[in-house]
């Protein structure tokens, strides 16, 4: 049985990629497409966005989208995602959320909704990135003493949040493996006379420029050696195909908050 999917923010970069990925993925059907109410694409067909014959009409009625879809995939902005998950809760339908930049209290709203509906919420849907999360957990436990941890990330000039959700999740994975609280040990950028490095901290460095899709590296820096675990994205398509995999994973779920580690069976 195919999964009927609705896409939020369909005219955006990820929205268009999701359309392309759906058309290449057996067992997944695009049933609804959503955009902002003031979007010039409202009332037009999805096919006009991607240059094919898809006749699904782009609309802004979230409730109507859930009426014909099993799952909504959302890579929009925090305010949009929070509005969408309320509709999902009322409709008793699933959501796949790749939105970043959510505050702790906003993440808690998602967690509360997941008590009633199934949700995959992950800062990065890429299979490769999630393999890196697993590798970082192993590496951090092996390199728990004598190694300083630094997280580097680079993205395109249009990204509005920093550090990236993926970089923060990498920091969380390492901090959890080391028995630390990331909120207490994270250092975001350095300037001036900072003094000697605190061995318990996890540093973050951010670059924004051009059309960089997404580069992430975690460095475990010891005396005399350095271990680096990296992921470099050449396109956003892995995020789209991972999101479809997540939507399929939720088909038989009644409720619960999951991430891509659950989807990939890595826990």
Structure tokens at 59: 């609309």
For residue 53, the model assigns a pLDDT of 74
Residue 26: phi and psi, rounded to 5, are -60, 145
> Catalytic residue at 103?
no
The 10s digit of each residue's pLDDT in 96-154 is 999 988 999 999 999 999 999 999 999 889 999 999 999 999 999 999 999 999 999 99
List 4, 90, 134, 159, catalytic entry: 159
For residue 50, the model assigns a pLDDT of 81
For residue 178, the model assigns a pLDDT of 98
Sheet strands (E) in 177-248: 186-188, 202-208, 214-221, 226-233
Count other C-beta atoms under 10 Å from residue 244's C-beta: 22
Could you tell me whether strands 186-188 and 256-258 are parallel, antiparallel, or unpaired per DSSP bridges?
unpaired
The 10s digit of each residue's pLDDT in 57-79 is 999 999 999 999 999 999 999 99
Cβ within 8 Å of residue 13, ≥6 positions away: 236
Task: Please list the alpha-helical segments (H only) found in 74-164.
Answer: 78-91, 104-113, 127-142
> Catalytic residue at 107?
no
For residue 59, the model assigns a pLDDT of 96
List 84, 93, 155, 216, catalytic entry: 155
Read off the DSSP letter of residue 57.
Answer: B
- SS3 of residue 264 by DSSP: coil
Read off the DSSP letter of residue 151.
Answer: E
To which residue do tokens 């057996």 refer? 26
The 10s digit of each residue's pLDDT in 192-233 is 999 999 999 999 999 999 999 999 999 999 999 999 999 999
Alpha-carbon span 144 to 134, nearest angstrom: 16
Task: Please list the alpha-helical segments (H only) found in the chain.
Answer: 13-23, 46-50, 62-68, 78-91, 104-113, 127-142, 165-178, 182-185, 237-249, 260-263
The 10s digit of each residue's pLDDT in 147-202 is 999 999 999 999 999 999 899 999 999 999 999 999 999 999 899 999 999 999 99
Alpha-carbon span 137 to 135, nearest angstrom: 5
For residue 180, the model assigns a pLDDT of 98
Nearest to 154 by CA among 71, 211, 72: 211
Residue 253: phi and psi, rounded to 5, are -100, 140
Domains detected in the chain = 3-121+236-263 (3.40.50.720), 127-233 (3.30.360.10)
Alpha-carbon Rg for the chain in angstroms = 19
Alpha-carbon span 81 to 77, nearest angstrom: 6
Residue 251: phi and psi, rounded to 5, are -55, -40
């Amino acid at each position: 049985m195919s999964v009927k999917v609705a896409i939020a923010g369909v005219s955006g970069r990820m929205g268009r990629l999701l359309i392309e990925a759906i058309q290449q993925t057996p067992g997944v059907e695009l049933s609804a497409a959503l955009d902002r109410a003031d979007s010039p694409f409202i009332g037009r067909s999805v096919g006009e966005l991607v240059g094919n014959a898809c006749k699904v009409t782009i609309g802004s009625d979230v409730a109507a989208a859930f009426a014909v879809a099993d799952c909504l995939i959302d890579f929009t902005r925090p305010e949009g995602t929070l509005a969408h998950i309320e509709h999902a809760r009322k409709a008793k339908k699933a959501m796949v959320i790749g939105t970043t930049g959510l505050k702790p209290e906003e993440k808690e709203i998602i967690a509360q909704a997941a008590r009633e509906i199934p949700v995959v919420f992950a800062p990065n849907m890429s299979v490769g990135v999630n393999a890196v999360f697993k590798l970082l957990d192993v590496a951090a436990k092996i390199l728990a003493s004598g190694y300083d941890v630094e997280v580097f990330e680079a993205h395109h000039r249009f990204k509005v949040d920093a550090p990236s959700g993926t970089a923060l999740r990498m920091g969380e994975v390492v901090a959890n493996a080391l028995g630390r609280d990331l909120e207490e040990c994270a250092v975001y950028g350095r300037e001036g006379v900072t003094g000697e490095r605190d061995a318990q901290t996890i540093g973050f460095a951010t670059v924004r420029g051009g059309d960089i899709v997404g580069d992430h590296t975690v460095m475990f820096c010891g005396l005399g050696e350095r271990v680096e675990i990296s992921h470099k994205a050449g396109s956003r398509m892995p995020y789209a195909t991972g999101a479809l995999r997540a939507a399929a994973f939720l088909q038989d779920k009644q409720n619960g908050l999951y991430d891509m580690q659950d989807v990939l069976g890595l826990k």
